[in-house]
Structure 1
Amino acid sequence: MTPKTVRAWTLIHKWTSLICTAFLLMLCVTGLPLVFHDEIDGALNHEPKIVAQPGQRLATLDEVLDTALKARPGEVGLFMSFDIDRPVVNVTSGPRPDAPESQMHFASIDLTTGKILAPGGAAGGVMDVILRIHKDMFLGLPGLLFLGFMGLLFTAAIVSGLVVYPPFMRKLDFGTVRVSRSSRLKWLDYHNLLGVVTAAWVIVVGLTGVINTLSEPIIQVWKANELAAMTAPYKGKPVPTHLSSIGKAVATAQAAAPGMRVQFVAFPGGSFSSNHHYAVFMQGETPATEKLLTPALIDAETGQLTAMRRMPWYAQALLLSQPLHFGDYGGLPLKILWALLDVVTIVVLVTGLYLWLSKRRGGEAS
């Protein structure tokens, strides 16, 4: 590699790093508690332990929906979701089928008693705020796209750092840290070494983060293409005045997808279904397949299955990238590893900023 090429890559590394460092620090700091969001929620929310006894009668989905709507007179069902680790069904309702998120109400129903559970506590609120900061800085789609661009810059910074590291170390052994030299030179060696060692992880987390920032456009493309094609024969039909059984709709979807379980149901009239369908989103039952969704459309008048199609590749990439970004595939050991690598990345970012500032103040040349 010629000196001119090395200088060009060095400039790329310098400026891409400087532009994105502050935002990457924010993402790393907020991402640390999000890695353990399940554990934090469990510790602070103090959700009641609910266990169904063998042979015990559980409330049906129709009874669950009826209970939720009786508590909210004048509202309609929008979504129904299912807890994996306890017999609890969650119902989201609103004043009309296309109600905005600000007008939605969330209720959890204990299947063993058929009663609405009290809200879990403050952890959800705290973690929701941290997630919003990490996700889009409370700026919506512009914030998402901006942080996605920062993620691309960070990926460019890592790649360019890998390119310039071998020429920088040509007279030294790999991993050398010159602890006996100046403070700036020592931290430069630590910065380079830690950056190279964590490069693969950072690129994976960075690129999955970029994919996550495109979640809204990806979902809109799926709705405009796949969902529109699946519901085309029913285009223009109004929401039925009387809906068929939600329990039978879910049972029909499960029968059509053996070996899968229901993640959530979107009711007719919402953006994830059509005016004429329950959209029952099925997921796999193994760690490798539980993030992959297959929507089944059930006619809301007749209760018949009308279409079922796996999500397209770009939507599957989004579904797989979300848990990978936070280390949600391998339980607590992987989360601990993710957290340690996150801390190391914070050190890399801080030392990079220190090196730039010390050089501007006239620090020693490396």
Structure 2
Amino acid sequence: MEVVHARPAPTHINTDIHARIPTIDIPQEVSDIIVDLLSRDARSLKSSALISRQWRDRSQYHLHHTLKLDRKSNIPSLVDIYGDNLLPHYVRAISIDMMWGDFWSMIWGESWSSLLPIFHQFDGVRSLSLGRMGPISVAMHEFVSERFACLDSLSLTCVSVENFSTFSTFLNALPHLAHLALKDVHWSKAGGEVSPSVHRLRTLRLAFCTEQSVFVKWLMSVGEDKLRLESLSLTWYHDSDSLRAFVGFVGGHLQHLAFSYVFSDIFSRDWRQCPLDLSPNTGLRTLEFQQNIMAPHVWGSLSTVPEMLSSVASSRLTTLCLHLTNLEEEPVPYACLSTIDAILDKSPFISALAKVNLFTDVSLSPENGREHCMERIQCSIHSAMPKALKKGLLRIGCLSAK
């Protein structure tokens, strides 16, 4: 039987071999780009955070960038994670959903009360989203203004306030806001004294709020030299004169406009008689006419698009988006599209246009003839807009394909 003896351990390690192994010094900017490519993959981010110190900060930034809270959140786990003095500083956005009055008064369960003090450590938060919150109470107002006074982005969905005076006070407590989104925000018509707006907004999204005309007039109180709105998305349903005044007020600063309105006989006649004048908006780059609300039998906003488009006086317009609806049952609005095609061809201002995006809402399944329906729509659009087709501008897509 052969006995194999183990080799004795070397008394000297040859460090020359290790010295000859090349090392790569990756610039921090390149490392950040690599980690950014993994920003949507939490599992990979957790691994990359352990690779090196150079990768850790960027990985943690993506992992903890947005904190989402609702009634199903595991609060003890969040307390353990963000009880650390380092991790809260990576949080940049907080989304709170379905938290009613008890949450803001800090008495809704022991677990929540243990989390709320940690909010003081979220000193890097710049974006706050509040959804389905019920009324904005005094406790909620104080909570937001004390902990998030440096916010530059706020989104409110399905909330209510006592009156517009209270709402304006709530917003003015956040003077650094640059991006504001309001949807289904309601207040009573009666109210006290309203202070002028202090905001220099850059982005505004507004839909289905009480007395939207009152809100935009309040925004204009900050002064034309301070309100330099660059992006505006509106779903309008009343007092179109105030909207026309507001769009004219923001003037040449506006670069992106997305517009739709709740269709009714009254408002339809109003928009046809007095379409939105876009001539003051000389800086427009993107113009989108979205679907009208509650009117599937109407072809998007096409009933007024030609008039509005003919008023464009921006030589920077590069993208035009049109939404066409109910084309499964109705023919393509040939006359409107032909008029638009002629306007795009002859307008001296729309020379930089690079894309005309037409979106349809065909919901047919492939088995029920979706492909055939899309072919019919495309042929009709090509026939109605030959000049745009020849220039290679047309892009036809489907928003709700199944």
TM-score, normalization by structure 2: 0.18
Greater relative CO, 1 or 2 (CA 8 Å, sep 6+): 1
TM-score, normalization by structure 1: 0.20
Greater strand fraction, Structure 1 or Structure 2: 2
Say which one has the larger Rg.
2
Greater helix fraction, Structure 1 or Structure 2: 1
